[in-house]
Chain A
Amino acid sequence: MKAAIELVDVSRLYVVGDTVVRALDRVSLSIEEHSFTAIMGPSGSGKSTLMSLIGCLDVPTEGRILIDGEDTSGMDEEELAYIRNRKIGFVFQHFSLLPKLNALDNAALPLLYAGVGQRERRERAADMLERVGLKDRMRHRPSELSGGQKQRVAIARALVNDPSILLADEPTGALDSVTGHEVMELFHRLNEEGHTIVFVTHDRSLAEECGRIVPIRDGRIDDAT
């Protein structure tokens, strides 16, 4: 199988005052296309750093990251923005919706930066909201939606530009267990439809629902099997 994401000897160092913090230490990892992978570790283990590197929100201090076979090292901000826009869909723990936009415009936002015209943006975002079961909530603002509904808007937004990889950072962390399960089911369905899903969590029971667990501790991958 082809690798959707490949990390080769990736390190990320932060300078805090006089000390250098090694948040990630020579991590190598390959994530296959159409897989469902959980990156699991306690807080401070480096899993969020790993997620932002995979998502091209940050660049490694050392090593190389390949997305869809494309080497991202040496890319400038414009090129990284392009990768984020076309190849990656983000789902955040706290939804990260823009409070002034309604569900439809929130879901359509990636298309704005892809240069899609307004009419098509709205059509595609509406289709996607329908797919996540929010057909009748499109004109509502985030403040008028429940936590589960907000996370569905965020998932619709992540999917709207048809990325190959879906990156989710504790997507059920702010939801009650029933709603959390519904969201997990949605992820499973999307995985069955062919999306590569990378899931960051500290919750072992959630991680065990995924096809593969990548445990991370102190900036290193414990056992990459």
Chain B
Amino acid sequence: MMLRENISMAFSSMAGNRLRTFLSLLGIMIGVASVVAILNLGRSVSESISQSFEIGGLDTVSIMPRGSARETMIFTEEFAYSLMNEVDGIREVLPVVSSAANIRNGQEIYEGASIQGVTSGYFASNALELQDGEFFDAAANINRRQVAVIGSALASELFPGSSAVGKYVSVFRRQAKSFFVIGVLSDKEAAQGSSYDYSLFMPYNTYVQRFRRTDQVGTYIVKTADGYDATEIADSIERYLNEIAGSDYYRIFSPATIKEMADSVMSTFSAFLAAIAAISLVVGGIGIMNIMLVSVVERTGEIGIRKALGATPGAIRSQFLVESVTLSLSGGLLGLLIGSAISYAAVSAAGWTLHLSLGAVAISLLFSLAIGVFFGWYPAAKAARLAPMEALARE
């Protein structure tokens, strides 16, 4: 009932002493601004890390058998099919073999390109697109044809100013082999470490026959089905592999798992920083308590008058409590604006996108409310306890 009156009284008393009001808000304002800025920055950094993992494919789990696994004879091309049968939620398993090689066209030579043997499904799975020519199909794989699809950067290194499609390139790895270029990829942002733009793709079986003396697969790229969590599938695969082979024989890698770790590190880190910044909130709260105590002393006469007119101790207490909450919430709102502005400026300077943390908004408002109540309680109780006669005498 009296809340509206109390709030309007609070604002009029704050407006009556602007500089003092501002100075007593300052602590809460700085505290909330730093908490908000830290949480917003944390979330923005974390989102930008996530985005770099999303390029790598959050639906992807890579299994890399170690050289020592050859004796187990497990990691063959057929293993791709048994993995799909044994673990739920896998859309497809793409075996990949790769190594570094030098590639030449006449006088043009590119050293240290990545050559990769892949099945025909690889291109669609990794959302690769052509700027020229075509992909190889399953038949090319079965027939071990010496055809190649090359990355955009590799094409322009080897064929400056002309089209690579329909030309031959030589691939040097122990000995030179000639490949007929049938397609050139469009530019594609690289996932962690592996650049599509400087790669040469050939049919899986062609690679195995021409460059490899073992039938052990280099990497299995596991694509998870829609609605499945890649980190859980990575865990299931790990359990299955430990059962049939043992953890010494392979490595497993999934952007989703790493993202999860990065997220957790990032959120722990920003929570830690925010907790340090929250100390300034406590300092701000003490500032509010201080000013409220001064205010109670200054307005002892007013309290006496109000009591003489029939204000109960509860009415006086709520008046001062509402005033301290109004004070600290105003500080909190200003801090929220300033903190958001700071994080916006910092994020823009670093070239990320700003992701506002709703948690920061909620925390800052709840905290300022709680500080107003907690640090306003004692001064308000003190005002409520004043004996009417003594308070009037000090008017």
Contacts and interface: CB of A to CB of B under 8 A. Distances in A.
Contact of B308 (A57, A97, A161): A57
A115 B309 CA distance: 13
A156 B312 CA distance: 21
B311 A113 contact: yes
Interface stretch (A83-91, A130-138, A208-216): A83-91
Given A57-B308, A81-B310, A115 B1 contact: yes
Interface in A58-95: 58, 77-78, 81-82, 84-86, 90, 92, 94
Contacts of A38: none
A81 B312 contact: yes
Contacts of B56: none
B355 interface: no
Assign chain B's interface to a size class.
Answer: 20 to 34
Contacts of B128: none
Most buried by B among A82, A85, A86: A85
A217 B251 CA distance: 102
A203 B388 CA distance: 26
B388 A96 contact: no
A179 interface: no
B16 A100 contact: yes
Contacts, number: 66
Interface in B293-309: 301-302, 304-309
B309 A113 contact: yes
A201 to B, nearest CB: 18
Given A96-B395, A100-B12, A100-B13, A113 B310 contact: yes
B310 A57 contact: no
Contacts of B312: 77-78, 81-82, 113
Given A96-B305, A98-B302, A98-B305, A86 B388 contact: no
B395 A161 contact: no
A78 B313 contact: yes
B313 A57 contact: no
Interface residues of A, number: 27
B310 A58 contact: no
B20 to A, nearest CB: 15
Most buried by A among B1, B2, B307, B389: B389
B225 interface: no
B309 A110 contact: yes
A171 interface: no
Contacts of A85: 309-310
B383 to A, nearest CB: 13
B80 interface: no
Contacts of A13: none
Contact of A81 (B5, B307, B387): B307
B319 to A, nearest CB: 10
Contact of A58 (B5, B387, B395): B387
B388 A57 contact: yes
Given A81-B310, A84-B308, A109-B306, A57 B395 contact: no
Which 6 pairs between the two chains have the least Cβ-Cβ distance? A85-B310, A113-B310, A81-B312, A58-B389, A57-B388, A110-B309
20 contacts: A57-B307, A57-B388, A57-B392, A77-B312, A78-B314, A81-B311, A81-B315, A82-B310, A84-B308, A84-B309, A84-B388, A96-B392, A96-B395, A98-B305, A112-B2, A112-B5, A113-B311, A113-B312, A113-B315, A118-B4
